[in-house]
Structure 1
Amino acid sequence: MKIYRMFKDYLIEKRLWEVFIYLFFGGLATVVNIVSFTLSYQVFDLNWPISNTISWILSVLFAFVTNKVWVFQSKTESFKELIWEFSKFIFARVVSFGMDMATMYLLIDLLHTGNLIAKLITQIIVVVANYVFSKVFIFKKVEIIKDEKADSSPR
Protein backbone atom coordinates (compact mmCIF):
# COMPACT_ATOMS: atom_id res chain seq x y z
CA MET A 1 0.00 0.00 0.00
CA LYS A 2 2.91 2.32 0.72
CA ILE A 3 4.28 1.87 -2.81
CA TYR A 4 0.83 2.65 -4.25
CA ARG A 5 0.59 5.81 -2.13
CA MET A 6 4.07 6.96 -3.19
CA PHE A 7 3.26 6.25 -6.85
CA LYS A 8 -0.05 8.09 -6.65
CA ASP A 9 1.47 11.07 -4.82
CA TYR A 10 4.22 11.30 -7.44
CA LEU A 11 1.70 11.28 -10.30
CA ILE A 12 -0.49 13.83 -8.51
CA GLU A 13 2.53 16.08 -8.04
CA LYS A 14 3.32 15.79 -11.76
CA ARG A 15 -0.38 16.33 -12.61
CA LEU A 16 -0.54 12.93 -14.30
CA TRP A 17 -2.79 11.00 -11.92
CA GLU A 18 -6.02 11.71 -13.80
CA VAL A 19 -4.46 10.67 -17.11
CA PHE A 20 -3.01 7.52 -15.54
CA ILE A 21 -6.29 6.48 -13.93
CA TYR A 22 -8.15 7.28 -17.17
CA LEU A 23 -5.81 5.01 -19.14
CA PHE A 24 -6.06 2.31 -16.46
CA PHE A 25 -9.85 2.21 -16.57
CA GLY A 26 -9.78 2.62 -20.34
CA GLY A 27 -7.70 -0.55 -20.49
CA LEU A 28 -10.27 -2.31 -18.34
CA ALA A 29 -13.06 -1.03 -20.63
CA THR A 30 -11.13 -2.54 -23.55
CA VAL A 31 -11.04 -5.87 -21.70
CA VAL A 32 -14.81 -5.63 -21.12
CA ASN A 33 -15.25 -4.92 -24.84
CA ILE A 34 -13.11 -7.83 -26.04
CA VAL A 35 -14.48 -10.38 -23.54
CA SER A 36 -18.12 -9.46 -24.20
CA PHE A 37 -17.53 -9.53 -27.96
CA THR A 38 -15.90 -12.96 -27.73
CA LEU A 39 -18.68 -14.34 -25.53
CA SER A 40 -21.41 -12.94 -27.77
CA TYR A 41 -19.77 -14.12 -30.97
CA GLN A 42 -18.29 -17.48 -30.01
CA VAL A 43 -20.37 -18.71 -27.07
CA PHE A 44 -23.80 -17.32 -27.94
CA ASP A 45 -23.17 -17.63 -31.70
CA LEU A 46 -24.41 -14.12 -32.52
CA ASN A 47 -23.24 -12.47 -35.73
CA TRP A 48 -20.36 -10.02 -35.48
CA PRO A 49 -22.39 -6.77 -35.90
CA ILE A 50 -24.69 -7.73 -33.01
CA SER A 51 -21.74 -8.96 -30.94
CA ASN A 52 -19.85 -5.74 -31.64
CA THR A 53 -22.89 -3.63 -30.68
CA ILE A 54 -23.34 -5.54 -27.41
CA SER A 55 -19.65 -5.19 -26.56
CA TRP A 56 -19.70 -1.46 -27.40
CA ILE A 57 -22.74 -0.90 -25.16
CA LEU A 58 -21.22 -2.82 -22.23
CA SER A 59 -17.85 -1.11 -22.51
CA VAL A 60 -19.46 2.34 -22.79
CA LEU A 61 -21.56 1.68 -19.67
CA PHE A 62 -18.47 0.45 -17.82
CA ALA A 63 -16.51 3.49 -18.99
CA PHE A 64 -19.25 5.89 -17.88
CA VAL A 65 -19.34 4.52 -14.34
CA THR A 66 -15.57 4.36 -13.92
CA ASN A 67 -15.01 7.79 -15.49
CA LYS A 68 -17.72 9.37 -13.36
CA VAL A 69 -16.75 7.79 -10.06
CA TRP A 70 -12.98 7.25 -10.15
CA VAL A 71 -11.41 9.25 -12.97
CA PHE A 72 -13.19 12.61 -12.92
CA GLN A 73 -15.01 12.18 -9.57
CA SER A 74 -18.04 13.94 -10.99
CA LYS A 75 -20.94 14.79 -8.70
CA THR A 76 -24.52 15.21 -9.86
CA GLU A 77 -27.12 16.58 -7.51
CA SER A 78 -30.24 15.22 -9.21
CA PHE A 79 -31.38 12.39 -11.43
CA LYS A 80 -31.96 14.95 -14.20
CA GLU A 81 -28.29 16.05 -13.99
CA LEU A 82 -27.19 12.42 -14.10
CA ILE A 83 -29.27 11.76 -17.22
CA TRP A 84 -27.88 14.92 -18.86
CA GLU A 85 -24.31 13.87 -18.04
CA PHE A 86 -24.96 10.35 -19.34
CA SER A 87 -26.53 11.73 -22.53
CA LYS A 88 -23.47 13.89 -23.20
CA PHE A 89 -21.24 10.88 -22.56
CA ILE A 90 -23.18 8.70 -25.01
CA PHE A 91 -23.19 11.47 -27.62
CA ALA A 92 -19.40 11.90 -27.29
CA ARG A 93 -18.84 8.14 -27.56
CA VAL A 94 -20.97 7.97 -30.70
CA VAL A 95 -18.93 10.87 -32.14
CA SER A 96 -15.65 9.12 -31.31
CA PHE A 97 -17.02 5.89 -32.82
CA GLY A 98 -17.67 7.86 -36.00
CA MET A 99 -14.12 9.25 -35.86
CA ASP A 100 -12.86 5.69 -35.44
CA MET A 101 -14.77 4.41 -38.46
CA ALA A 102 -13.84 7.39 -40.65
CA THR A 103 -10.14 7.13 -39.75
CA MET A 104 -10.16 3.38 -40.38
CA TYR A 105 -11.76 3.95 -43.79
CA LEU A 106 -9.21 6.64 -44.64
CA LEU A 107 -6.21 4.59 -43.52
CA ILE A 108 -7.26 1.18 -44.82
CA ASP A 109 -9.34 1.83 -47.93
CA LEU A 110 -7.84 5.07 -49.21
CA LEU A 111 -4.23 5.00 -47.98
CA HIS A 112 -3.87 1.19 -47.96
CA THR A 113 -2.35 1.07 -44.48
CA GLY A 114 -2.31 -2.31 -42.75
CA ASN A 115 -5.31 -3.11 -40.53
CA LEU A 116 -3.30 -3.37 -37.31
CA ILE A 117 -1.47 -0.08 -37.84
CA ALA A 118 -4.75 1.62 -38.75
CA LYS A 119 -6.43 0.24 -35.62
CA LEU A 120 -3.55 1.40 -33.40
CA ILE A 121 -3.65 4.89 -34.88
CA THR A 122 -7.42 5.14 -34.54
CA GLN A 123 -7.31 3.94 -30.94
CA ILE A 124 -4.84 6.68 -30.03
CA ILE A 125 -7.11 9.26 -31.67
CA VAL A 126 -10.21 7.86 -29.97
CA VAL A 127 -8.61 7.67 -26.51
CA VAL A 128 -7.42 11.28 -26.74
CA ALA A 129 -10.78 12.47 -28.10
CA ASN A 130 -12.73 10.61 -25.39
CA TYR A 131 -10.50 12.05 -22.67
CA VAL A 132 -10.98 15.61 -23.97
CA PHE A 133 -14.74 15.12 -24.38
CA SER A 134 -15.00 13.72 -20.85
CA LYS A 135 -12.74 16.30 -19.23
CA VAL A 136 -14.10 19.39 -20.96
CA PHE A 137 -17.72 18.68 -21.85
CA ILE A 138 -19.12 15.83 -19.78
CA PHE A 139 -17.94 15.44 -16.20
CA LYS A 140 -17.78 18.29 -13.77
CA LYS A 141 -15.94 18.35 -10.51
CA VAL A 142 -17.55 19.99 -7.57
CA GLU A 143 -15.00 22.02 -5.69
CA ILE A 144 -15.36 22.01 -1.95
CA ILE A 145 -14.71 25.39 -0.45
CA LYS A 146 -13.65 25.22 3.15
CA ASP A 147 -15.33 27.56 5.53
CA GLU A 148 -12.47 29.40 7.17
CA LYS A 149 -14.63 30.39 10.13
CA ALA A 150 -15.28 26.74 10.95
CA ASP A 151 -11.56 25.95 10.75
CA SER A 152 -10.36 28.77 12.96
CA SER A 153 -10.10 28.12 16.63
CA PRO A 154 -10.99 30.74 19.24
CA ARG A 155 -8.03 32.64 20.63
Structure 2
Amino acid sequence: MNEITENYSIRLMEEKDIDQILVVEHDAFTTPWSRTAFYNEIVNNQFAHYLVVEIDSEIVGYCGVWVIIDEAHITNIAIHSKFRGKKLGETLLLHAMELARTFGAKKMTLEVRVSNETAQQLYKKLGFEAVGIRKNYYTDNLEDAQIMWVNLYE
Protein backbone atom coordinates (compact mmCIF):
# COMPACT_ATOMS: atom_id res chain seq x y z
CA MET A 1 0.00 0.00 0.00
CA ASN A 2 1.35 3.41 -0.95
CA GLU A 3 1.28 5.86 1.92
CA ILE A 4 2.01 9.55 1.77
CA THR A 5 5.80 9.69 1.73
CA GLU A 6 6.40 13.36 1.02
CA ASN A 7 5.84 16.24 3.38
CA TYR A 8 2.54 17.77 2.41
CA SER A 9 0.29 20.53 3.64
CA ILE A 10 -3.37 21.35 3.08
CA ARG A 11 -4.64 24.91 3.13
CA LEU A 12 -7.35 27.12 1.69
CA MET A 13 -6.97 28.01 -1.98
CA GLU A 14 -6.05 31.59 -2.82
CA GLU A 15 -6.33 33.58 -6.04
CA LYS A 16 -2.56 33.31 -6.57
CA ASP A 17 -2.94 29.50 -6.77
CA ILE A 18 -5.04 29.45 -9.93
CA ASP A 19 -2.11 28.89 -12.36
CA GLN A 20 -0.99 25.80 -10.46
CA ILE A 21 -4.59 24.61 -10.05
CA LEU A 22 -5.04 24.78 -13.83
CA VAL A 23 -2.08 22.41 -14.29
CA VAL A 24 -3.79 19.86 -12.03
CA GLU A 25 -7.16 20.51 -13.68
CA HIS A 26 -5.84 19.92 -17.21
CA ASP A 27 -4.02 16.78 -16.09
CA ALA A 28 -7.10 15.33 -14.38
CA PHE A 29 -10.10 16.22 -16.56
CA THR A 30 -11.06 15.98 -20.22
CA THR A 31 -13.25 19.09 -19.87
CA PRO A 32 -11.26 21.28 -17.48
CA TRP A 33 -12.62 24.33 -15.76
CA SER A 34 -11.37 27.72 -16.94
CA ARG A 35 -9.32 30.28 -15.04
CA THR A 36 -12.46 32.44 -14.86
CA ALA A 37 -14.45 29.60 -13.31
CA PHE A 38 -11.89 29.13 -10.52
CA TYR A 39 -11.57 32.88 -9.99
CA ASN A 40 -15.34 33.22 -9.62
CA GLU A 41 -15.49 30.29 -7.22
CA ILE A 42 -12.83 31.61 -4.83
CA VAL A 43 -13.54 35.35 -5.14
CA ASN A 44 -17.28 35.69 -5.82
CA ASN A 45 -19.06 32.53 -4.59
CA GLN A 46 -19.99 32.94 -0.93
CA PHE A 47 -20.85 29.23 -0.65
CA ALA A 48 -17.55 27.93 -2.10
CA HIS A 49 -14.55 26.77 -0.10
CA TYR A 50 -11.52 25.30 -1.86
CA LEU A 51 -8.58 23.45 -0.39
CA VAL A 52 -5.21 22.73 -1.98
CA VAL A 53 -2.66 20.07 -1.15
CA GLU A 54 0.98 21.09 -1.57
CA ILE A 55 4.21 19.15 -1.62
CA ASP A 56 7.37 21.27 -1.45
CA SER A 57 5.38 24.42 -2.38
CA GLU A 58 3.90 22.74 -5.48
CA ILE A 59 0.13 22.36 -5.62
CA VAL A 60 -0.55 18.73 -6.51
CA GLY A 61 -4.27 18.61 -5.85
CA TYR A 62 -7.35 20.52 -4.80
CA CYS A 63 -10.92 20.05 -3.67
CA GLY A 64 -13.89 22.38 -3.85
CA VAL A 65 -16.95 22.24 -1.65
CA TRP A 66 -20.06 24.37 -1.53
CA VAL A 67 -21.83 24.61 1.81
CA ILE A 68 -25.44 25.75 1.61
CA ILE A 69 -27.30 25.76 4.92
CA ASP A 70 -26.64 22.22 6.23
CA GLU A 71 -25.62 20.47 3.01
CA ALA A 72 -22.23 20.32 1.35
CA HIS A 73 -21.55 19.51 -2.28
CA ILE A 74 -18.13 18.50 -3.56
CA THR A 75 -17.79 20.44 -6.81
CA ASN A 76 -14.53 18.83 -7.84
CA ILE A 77 -11.55 17.00 -6.45
CA ALA A 78 -8.35 16.18 -8.27
CA ILE A 79 -4.83 14.96 -7.62
CA HIS A 80 -2.21 15.34 -10.35
CA SER A 81 -1.50 11.96 -11.93
CA LYS A 82 2.16 12.06 -10.81
CA PHE A 83 1.01 12.07 -7.18
CA ARG A 84 -1.85 9.56 -7.21
CA GLY A 85 -1.72 6.39 -5.14
CA LYS A 86 -0.27 8.16 -2.09
CA LYS A 87 -3.56 8.66 -0.19
CA LEU A 88 -3.51 12.40 -0.91
CA GLY A 89 -7.03 12.31 -2.37
CA GLU A 90 -8.35 10.54 0.71
CA THR A 91 -6.59 12.97 3.03
CA LEU A 92 -7.84 15.95 1.04
CA LEU A 93 -11.43 14.68 1.06
CA LEU A 94 -11.29 14.07 4.81
CA HIS A 95 -10.17 17.70 5.25
CA ALA A 96 -13.01 18.87 2.99
CA MET A 97 -15.50 16.88 5.07
CA GLU A 98 -14.17 18.49 8.25
CA LEU A 99 -14.27 21.94 6.64
CA ALA A 100 -17.89 21.37 5.66
CA ARG A 101 -18.72 20.40 9.27
CA THR A 102 -17.17 23.64 10.54
CA PHE A 103 -19.54 25.57 8.26
CA GLY A 104 -22.54 23.67 9.61
CA ALA A 105 -23.01 20.92 7.02
CA LYS A 106 -24.65 17.73 8.23
CA LYS A 107 -24.58 15.86 4.90
CA MET A 108 -22.34 15.89 1.85
CA THR A 109 -22.96 14.89 -1.75
CA LEU A 110 -20.97 14.49 -4.94
CA GLU A 111 -21.25 13.12 -8.44
CA VAL A 112 -18.72 10.71 -9.91
CA ARG A 113 -18.46 9.11 -13.33
CA VAL A 114 -20.06 5.66 -13.34
CA SER A 115 -16.83 4.38 -14.93
CA ASN A 116 -14.57 5.82 -12.20
CA GLU A 117 -14.51 2.80 -9.91
CA THR A 118 -11.33 3.93 -8.13
CA ALA A 119 -12.97 7.16 -6.96
CA GLN A 120 -16.19 5.35 -6.05
CA GLN A 121 -14.22 2.93 -3.86
CA LEU A 122 -12.59 5.85 -2.04
CA TYR A 123 -15.94 7.54 -1.48
CA LYS A 124 -17.48 4.30 -0.17
CA LYS A 125 -14.50 3.84 2.16
CA LEU A 126 -15.29 7.27 3.63
CA GLY A 127 -18.96 6.43 4.13
CA PHE A 128 -20.57 7.73 0.94
CA GLU A 129 -23.46 5.68 -0.40
CA ALA A 130 -24.70 5.54 -3.99
CA VAL A 131 -28.26 6.87 -4.16
CA GLY A 132 -28.98 7.52 -7.82
CA ILE A 133 -27.84 8.31 -11.33
CA ARG A 134 -27.72 11.58 -13.25
CA LYS A 135 -28.18 10.56 -16.88
CA ASN A 136 -25.80 12.06 -19.47
CA TYR A 137 -24.22 14.27 -16.78
CA TYR A 138 -20.75 14.69 -18.30
CA THR A 139 -20.67 16.92 -21.36
CA ASP A 140 -17.54 15.41 -22.95
CA ASN A 141 -19.07 11.97 -23.57
CA LEU A 142 -22.56 12.09 -21.99
CA GLU A 143 -21.51 9.55 -19.38
CA ASP A 144 -23.85 9.10 -16.44
CA ALA A 145 -22.88 10.26 -12.95
CA GLN A 146 -23.35 8.24 -9.80
CA ILE A 147 -24.84 10.44 -7.05
CA MET A 148 -23.40 9.71 -3.63
CA TRP A 149 -24.23 11.04 -0.15
CA VAL A 150 -22.68 10.77 3.30
CA ASN A 151 -23.93 11.78 6.72
CA LEU A 152 -21.08 13.85 8.20
CA TYR A 153 -21.98 12.93 11.79
CA GLU A 154 -22.06 9.13 11.71
- How would you bin the TM-score normalised by the shorter chain? under 0.3
Q: Which has the higher helix share?
A: 1
Higher-Rg member (1/2): 1
The normalised TM-score by structure 1 is 0.27
Normalized per residue, which structure has more strand? 2
| TM-score normalised by the chain length of structure 2 | 0.27
